[in-house]
């Protein structure tokens, strides 16, 4: 029997009945992931389609059921003639709501980008009980997020003359499409040329220009709806992550920060990218998203699996190992209680830590390797612990800050350790000759390579437990500790 990996995408088309005309409209969508997993609904923007999510789907669908439709008038979905189909954001939201009904989505997290944001927030307003969390990636809900790049479109809102409409055709040209992808990108050479070509192909199809001009004109309805979107956030307090390409020429970083005004617990992260960070910063964004979704969607882990983490939550056989941790740290870390539910695992971990300390790696380099492995595992707890220990062992403040933020290290030997540990952890234990050359160029030998592998293996165990148990990071491991 053929076994399909859960992240193998499927490409489907279904019919959704238009509530306004009664006519069927075909909606194309991409889907991957286990059918019984929490759902993440990805809503794309202008001038793109679900194609923009191809990489993100691959990076999330091992844990989540990821669904990305093409909006009517975009991508491979039907594009009814605008003479008979109203291209408004209200109408597109109705169609996507109908899409979710047809495929049976009753609970989901939303990922919204650009046009997907006003559509997604309309879904949340209509059915707040369905929305488990919201990820906004350059998806605006606040006026301060709109840059001066919107001025020509604003002019058309205020004066919908034929001259002002014609002026907006410049937004549909290949040069503008390329600009949207490349402006602010940290490395434009990472942008797949087919992304630009596919978007432009659909923009150039018959009557697609009128579709987009109609939506430009209707964007004023989104700005008018911003107070309603904000009221929804205040009333329902959905978990929110705003992950933003900080160099976006259209949606400013202030639009991301503004989410905290209505939900103080909103998480805001900026990446060095433009309007399409998934083209150039995919792995960085995916790591941020996975950590957020783990906290908000993974309902059968954390307290649900481990219960409270304290002295009474562990077997008596674990006491000697917990005492050893207390001797080492001056207290028992929260993660120690989680590992101690299986005493043999805590015993093994403490033994491996002693073994790592006896290797040829210097003490700071040991902590660098374990921070790197923890970052590759998206394990915030491990990053906090080992960056703190690096500081206590004499690492410079600059090094510690770089470890906490995931930035390159100015110390070339430590940077070589960080790179090699990252390669092992992210490459399924297989590194390249390039990785080996980098380690040797920094003066390390085969013994150091094995020592780094040992450090990575130790973190594989405890980072897995940290993700399962979700312990709170101890105050002693915080940035100000």
Which positions are annotated as active-site residues?
275
Q: Are 130 and 121 in contact (CB under 8 A)?
A: no
User: How far is the C-alpha of 331 from the C-alpha of 328, rounded, in Å?
Assistant: 8
Strands 39-43 and 65-69, by their bridges, are parallel
Cα–Cα nearest to 116, from 22, 184, 48: 48
Nearby residues of 56 by Cβ (< 8 Å), 6 or more positions away: 42, 66, 111, 278, 282, 285, 286, 289
Q: Torsion over CA of 27, 30, 36 and 42, rounded to 10 degrees? A: -80
DSSP 21: T
User: What order of strands is seen across the sheet that includes strand 65-69?
Assistant: 10-17, 24-32, 65-69, 39-43, 108-112, 131-136, 240-245, 267-271
Strands 267-271 and 240-245, by their bridges, are parallel
Cα–Cα nearest to 77, from 99, 57, 52, 62: 99
């Amino acid at each position: 029997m053929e076994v399909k990996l859960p992240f193998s995408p499927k490409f489907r088309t279904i019919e959704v009945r238009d509530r306004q005309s009664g006519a069927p409209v075909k909606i194309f969508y991409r889907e991957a992931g286990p059918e019984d997993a929490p759902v993440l609904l990805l809503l794309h923007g202008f001038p793109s389609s679900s194609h923009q999510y191809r990489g993100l789907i691959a990076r999330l669908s091992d844990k989540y059921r990821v669904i990305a439709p093409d909006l009517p008038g975009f991508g491979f979905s039907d594009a009814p003639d605008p003479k008979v189909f109203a291209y408004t954001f209200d109408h597109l939201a109705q169609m996507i709501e109908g899409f979710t009904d047809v495929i049976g989505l009753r609970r989901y997290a939303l990922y919204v980008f650009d046009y997907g944001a006003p559509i997604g927030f309309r879904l949340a307003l209509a059915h707040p009980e369905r929305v488990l969390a919201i990820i906004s990636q350059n998806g605006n809900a606040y006026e301060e997020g709109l840059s001066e790049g919107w001025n020509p479109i604003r002019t058309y809102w205020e004066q919908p003359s034929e001259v002002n409409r014609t002026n907006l055709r410049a937004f549909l040209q290949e040069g503008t499409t390329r600009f949207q992808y490349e402006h602010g990108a940290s490395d434009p050479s990472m942008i797949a040329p087919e992304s630009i070509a596919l978007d432009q192909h659909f923009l150039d199809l018959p009557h697609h220009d009128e579709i987009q001009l109609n939506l430009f004109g209707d964007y004023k309805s989104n700005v008018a709806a911003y107070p309603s979107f904000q009221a929804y956030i205040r009333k329902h307090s959905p978990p929110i992550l705003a992950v933003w390409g900080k160099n976006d020429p259209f949606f400013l970083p202030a639009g991301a920060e503004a989410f905290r005004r209505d939900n103080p617990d909103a998480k805001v992260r900026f990446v060095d990218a433009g309007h399409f960070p998934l083209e150039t910063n995919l792995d960085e964004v995916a790591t941020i998203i996975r950590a957020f979704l783990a906290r908000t969607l993974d309902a059968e882990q954390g307290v649900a699996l481990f219960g409270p983490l304290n002295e009474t939550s562990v077997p008596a056989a674990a006491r000697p190992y917990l005492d050893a941790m207390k001797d080492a740290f001056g207290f028992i870390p929260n993660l120690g209680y989680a590992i101690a539910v299986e005493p043999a695992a805590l015993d093994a971990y403490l033994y491996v830590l002693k073994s790592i300390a006896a290797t040829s790696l210097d003490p700071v380099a040991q902590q660098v390797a374990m921070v790197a492995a923890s970052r590759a595992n998206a394990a915030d707890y491990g990053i906090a612990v080992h960056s703190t220990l690096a500081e206590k062992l004499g690492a410079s403040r600059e090094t510690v800050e770089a470890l906490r933020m995931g930035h390159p290290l100015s110390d070339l030997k430590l940077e070589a350790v960080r790179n090699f540990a990252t390669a092992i952890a992210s490459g399924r234990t297989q590194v390249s000759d390039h990785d080996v050359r980098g380690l040797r160029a920094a003066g390390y030998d085969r013994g150091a390579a094995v020592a780094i592998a040992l450090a990575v293996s130790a973190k594989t165990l405890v980072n897995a437990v940290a993700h399962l148990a979700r312990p709170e990071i101890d105050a002693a491991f915080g940035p100000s500790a």
